[in-house]
Amino acid sequence: MNLDLNAIRDAARLLEAGQLVAMPTETVYGLAADAGNPDAVAAIFAAKGRPSNHPVIVHVARDADLSRWASAIPSEAGKLIDAFWPGPLTLILPRASNVPAAVTGGQDSVGLRCPSHPVAQALLKEFRGGQGGIAAPSANRFGRVSPTTAQHVIDEFGAPGAGPLAAVLDGGQSEVGIESTIVDLTRLDTRGPVLLRPGRISAAQVEQVLGRALALPDAAAPRVSGSLDAHYAPHTPVALVESAALADVVERLRAKGRRVALMQWSEATSAPWSARLPAAPEGYAHGLYVSLRALDTQGADLIVVEQPPQDSAWQGVNDRLRRAAFDSAGVLEKLLG
C-alpha cells in the first residue's frame, strides 16, 4: 500500500497538539490521542460516550522504551513481544507511575500494543520521535460495532473538522477485522497469565509461547469494556441460530411478516438482505464488522446470524457474535410470538 507520508506527518502534529485522529490498525480503526496528555485522552471518552473508568490501550512504536509505560516487564511479556509484536496482541502490565490516570481508568495496570499496520507504525514513528504513546480505543461510539474502514469511522463521528476528529487516516480495510487478543500479565504469581479478550492470535498460540495455560478472567480481573455483555452491537437486534435450525427459523420469522437480514457462512441463500462470509475463521473475522454494519442499514427487524463452528480457532469471532447477539433468545421469542 502507498503511505501518504504528508498525511501521516500532519496527523502526528495534530496528535502532539492534543487533537483526536482516526488511525487504521490491522485489527480495527482506533480513535487516537496523545497518551501523555490527559485532556486529549479525556476527549476520546467524550467523543465515544465511554465511561471514564474504562482504561484505553496505549499503542507504541516497534522500538519504543516500554519502561515509560510499564513498571515491570516480566519475562513472559518479553516472550510474547518477541513472538507477536508488531501484531494484534495487547499486554496488560503494571503501570509506570507517570502514566496518566485517564489512560488507565484509575487502575494500576496499563495495556500496551504495537500494531503492525504500516500506517500505524509510520504514525507512531513520526509522533514524538517514536517515543510517544498513542492512546486508542476502537473508533466507534460506546457499545457499537468497531470500524474496519475509514468510512465506518466517518459514519460514526462525521468527517474531519465536522465532528470531534481533526483527521482520518485511510489505511484500507483492516486485515484482521476483530480487536486484538488481550493477555493480562499483572497477576502472574497468583493466577498466572489471563486471557481477557480472544482474538486472531489464539489462546493456544499464546500458551505455546508461554509454555503454560491461560486462565480465564475472574471477578478481580481488570475491567475490559469489550467484556460487557452488550457490546459490539448493531442497532438492529441480532439473533444467533445454529445452521441446522436456520431455514426453519427464517421461514417462521417471514411467516410472521418479519423483515430478516441474514448472515451466513455455510451456504448462500437468496434472501433479499443477506451477507455470506467465508467458512474459515480468519476470512470470517475480516468481513464480520463490514457485514454487520451493512446489514444494520437495511431497516430489517432482525439480523439472523448463522452460528459458526464452536472450535477454538473461532473463539474470537464467537466471542464478538455472542455479545452482538446478547439477547438472542429474547429477541427471537418476541419476533416469533
In the complex, minimum distance from the CB of residue 222 to ligand TXA, in angstroms, rounded to a whole number:
3
- Is residue 169 at the binding interface for ligand TXA, with CB under 6 A as the rule? no
In the complex, minimum distance from the CB of residue 29 to ligand TXA, in angstroms, rounded to a whole number:
7
Residue of 130, 150, 124 lying closest to 139 (CA atoms): 150
Query: In the complex with Mg ion, which residue's Cβ is closer, 138 or 174?
Result: 138
Contacts of ligand TXA in 206-225 (CB under 6 A): 222-225
- Is residue 57 at the binding interface for ligand TXA, with CB under 6 A as the rule? yes
Place of cell 501484531: 87
Strand order in the sheet with 238-241: 238-241, 302-306, 260-264, 274-276
Residue of 226, 254, 40, 43 lying closest to 132 (CA atoms): 40
Q: How far apart are CA 199 and CA 27, in angstroms?
A: 9
Place of cell 431497516: 299
- Is residue 113 at the binding interface for ligand TXA, with CB under 6 A as the rule? yes
Place of cell 482520518: 168
Selection from Mg ion, ligand TXA, none that 54 binds (CB < 5 to 8 A by kind) is ligand TXA
Give the amino acid at 88: P
In the complex, minimum distance from the CB of residue 90 to ligand TXA, in angstroms, rounded to a whole number:
5
Selection from Mg ion, ligand TXA, none that 136 binds (CB < 5 to 8 A by kind) is ligand TXA
One of 116, 149, 180, 264 touching ligand TXA (CB under 6 A): 180
In the complex, minimum distance from the CB of residue 260 to ligand TXA, in angstroms, rounded to a whole number:
29
Contacts of Mg ion in 130-159 (CB under 5 A): 138
- Is residue 25 at the binding interface for ligand TXA, with CB under 6 A as the rule? yes
- Is residue 264 at the binding interface for ligand TXA, with CB under 6 A as the rule? no
- Is residue 150 at the binding interface for ligand TXA, with CB under 6 A as the rule? no
Query: In the complex with ligand TXA, which residue's Cβ is closer, 290 or 304?
Result: 290
Place of cell 481488570: 222
Query: In the complex with Mg ion, which residue's Cβ is closer, 129 or 235?
Result: 235
- Is residue 328 at the binding interface for Mg ion, with CB under 5 A as the rule? no
How many residues sit close enough to ligand TXA to count as binding (CB under 6 A)? 29
Q: Which residues bind ligand TXA (CB under 6 A)?
A: 25, 27-28, 30, 54-57, 88, 90, 92, 104, 107, 109-111, 113, 115, 136-138, 179-180, 182, 222-226
